Structure 1
Amino acid sequence: MLKKIIISLSLLLCSFLSNAQEVKRDTSYWKKKTSFGTTFNQASFNGPWQTVQGARGSVGLNVFFNAKGEYNKAKVNWVNDLQLQYGLLDNGNGLRKTIDRVFFDTKLGQKFAPEWLFFANFNFQTQFTKGYNYDAGPEVINPDGTSYKEDVLVSNLFSPAFITESIGFEWKPSKMFNMTFAPGALRQTIVADKKIALSKPGERYGVPDGQTIRNEVALMQIVANLDKDIAKNINLKCRYAAFIKYNNLGAIDNRLDAKFTAKVNKYISTTFDVIVLYFQDQSTQVQVAQNLGVGLLYTFP
């Protein structure tokens, strides 16, 4: 089934690219960039290899859409950034999610020095569909005597969702890098799915027992963004955020999102995504996710 989805999406994207017309450049105070595409990967093994090596074939598909618009006029700077990603993998155990991200950020700034701005920021993050801890639930006995372990629901749309409001100072020494400092930033953690909200304390993303929203205040929130071409046809886009809680300075929430994009030609690219988390409310261990794929990429204007 996933192979059919990959083929259909690839044909659809190729058809669009072949008929796409050149987009007129915006000559106003806005600078806009939009990109979307698919990446896929496949591993297959014949019978003897599977028997001897114990390998299992798989096929995966990721879809992404990014849109960014930046407005500059006089001392006013307004940046809007939307990032959507979703990925599936089939390795013989049915479709499983590999990446799922909804990210929106809007920041309005007023320059008061050559490299410094006052800013106000709103950030929203969640995911599209349910996520599971596979085979982690209670054992279920089938009528024929066989058994299996249930999958445990651990995430869903708006479960969690993170909303952050902040004001402060931004250091912007170049177009490719900026860093913000926001004392007193506010963050709401939402767990709207009642099944997740009523789960064990360590599985509720820090939301108190019996509640669906947790409010937090930061002594300081620091966010750094880098968007740079590190070599010919190779781009690195990176965002690091640290949320320093006023009531627990030792429990700093850290998140790093990095994406490498290497363009083979106008439409073919290789992407490598890395997400690193350290949230003590979620786990006392560092969480790492990575995804590598080759596929189709279209960017305009």
Structure 2
Amino acid sequence: MKKFLFVFFLPAFYTAFSQDATVQDLKTESSKTITKDPNDTIPKIWKTGGLISVNLAQGSLSNWAAGGEKFSLSLNSLLSGFAFYKKNKHSWDNLATWNIGYVKTTSLGTRKNDDRVEFTSKYGYALNPKLNLSGLFNVRTQFFKGYDYPDADTKNYTSNFFAPAYVLLSPGFDYHPVKNLSIFVSPATARWTIVRPDSLRALYGVPVDKPADFQFGAYGTISYVANLGKAVSYTGKLDLFSNYRHNPQNVDVYMTNLFAAKISRILSVTYSLTLIYDDDVRQFGPHNTSAGLQVQSLFGAGLMVKFDNFTPKPPKAPAP
């Protein structure tokens, strides 16, 4: 992050024929050579920041002839933070995100509708300005218990912390053809699907007698950030994984999309779309034994605050 050196020149006024002592002093001060602090010319090797977003929606009905829920309330939030390191040919990118959401209605009570925790760490060594030799570590799970609701009176326990969790370790190449676009490809990736309770392992293709299933295959991920206008931004990621050891033609997909439109400094409207296909998760179809595309769509309006570098700005110099 570049530092700016603000230099204020005191005006020196003089006439063509005479100068008093006060004016002469001002002129002398304004003509002095100012020496820069060497530390101000050293670029930052760490860049840090984050984002907090909270969206809230509420509805109520009273004597409503068309029917509906008497009361509904939904809350969705996103917390993310990053720490990027770059020095010479070395780079190290770290990103953590947590999405959590709940919805409450009169008839159904309180239910979780979003819970995703993800951490990614990627080291890179620059081979040229656009290509890095890289190593990537990623873990994805959730914090709280999750349930499936086949009907209003039934709920089935389906998830918990590290049940499942997906852990991935991948060496490969990271290509940056343009700004804010990263394409990472690895032909040799290790991935573990971890499920702690044995009662849930069959839901995610993990052997009942083992806490984790090891997979080896090819992996690719594309990350992109773009400004679609002065107030609208897009953040997207697409992960693809092919398991060499079992049905390599059935590629697992994990895709996230976030559109954010700023209304004011802290107010925003957001829309997120998440698509997941995991060939080992066979909970769908007529007999709940087939893999299927999982889709999550969330729209909300609320608060969004960004933090960048967490470095306080230097105080302004007093006016002359």
Tell me the distance in 2 between the aligned counterparts of 1:57 and 1:133: 22
Quick one: percent identity of the two aligned structures? 27
Offset, 1:37: 2.9
Tell me the distance in 1 between the aligned counterparts of 2:43 and 2:263: 29
2:278 corresponds to: 279
Q: Say whether the 8 Å CA contact 1:158–1:193 is kept in structure 2.
A: no
2:305 to 288, 298, 301: 298
2:111 to 96, 100, 108: 96
Alignment of 1:88-167 (within 5 A): 88-92=102-106, 93-135=108-150, 149-167=153-171
Q: Say whether the 8 Å CA contact 2:198–2:209 is kept in structure 1.
A: no
TM-score normalized with structure 1 length: 0.81
Tell me the distance in 2 between the aligned counterparts of 1:58 and 1:281: 35
Alignment of 1:1-301 (within 5 A): 28-49=44-65, 52-55=66-69, 57-92=71-106, 93-135=108-150, 149-197=153-201, 201=202, 203=203, 205-218=204-217, 220-247=218-245, 248-283=247-282, 284-301=291-308
Offset, 1:135: 4.3
Tell me the distance in 2 between the aligned counterparts of 1:164 and 1:55: 43
Amino acid at match of 1:236: Y
Deviations 1:31-68 (A, max 9, x none): 2221113111122223223xx34455411111221111
Amino acid at match of 1:224: I
Offset, 1:210: 2.4
Check 1:251–1:35 CA distance in 2 against 1; reply closer, same or farther (3 A cut).
Answer: same
Amino acid at match of 2:174: E
What SS does the corresponding residue of 2:192 show, helix, strand or coil? Answer: strand
Tell me the distance in 2 between the aligned counterparts of 1:80 and 1:32: 9
Tell me the distance in 2 between the aligned counterparts of 1:293 and 1:94: 20
Q: Say whether the 8 Å CA contact 1:191–1:212 is kept in structure 2.
A: yes
1:145 corresponds to: none
Tell me the distance in 2 between the aligned counterparts of 1:278 and 1:150: 25
What SS does the corresponding residue of 1:222 show, helix, strand or coil? Answer: strand
Q: Kindly indicate which of the two structures has a greater share of residues assigned to helix.
A: 1
Amino acid at match of 1:39: N
1:10 corresponds to: none
Tell me the distance in 2 between the aligned counterparts of 1:47 and 1:253: 48
Amino acid at match of 2:195: V
Amino acid at match of 1:225: S
What SS does the corresponding residue of 1:285 show, helix, strand or coil? Answer: coil
Tell me the distance in 1 between the aligned counterparts of 2:70 and 2:205: 37
What SS does the corresponding residue of 1:210 show, helix, strand or coil? Answer: coil
Give the CA RMSD over aligned residues. Answer: 1.7
Tell me the distance in 2 between the aligned counterparts of 1:47 and 1:278: 43
Tell me the distance in 2 between the aligned counterparts of 1:193 and 1:47: 46
Tell me the distance in 2 between the aligned counterparts of 1:88 and 1:132: 12
Count the aligned residue pairs: 257
Tell me the distance in 2 between the aligned counterparts of 1:68 and 1:114: 22
Check 1:54–1:296 CA distance in 2 against 1; reply closer, same or farther (3 A cut).
Answer: closer
Gaps of 5+ in 2: 1-41, 283-290, 309-320
TM-score normalized with structure 2 length: 0.76
Q: Say whether the 8 Å CA contact 2:69–2:105 is kept in structure 1.
A: no
- Structure 1 consecutive aligned stretches of length 4 or more whose deviation exceeds 3 Å: 53-57
Offset, 1:229: 1.1
Larger Rg computed on CA atoms: 2
Deviations 1:229-276 (A, max 9, x none): 111121111010000111322211011011111111111111111110
What SS does the corresponding residue of 1:151 show, helix, strand or coil? Answer: strand
What SS does the corresponding residue of 1:33 show, helix, strand or coil? Answer: strand
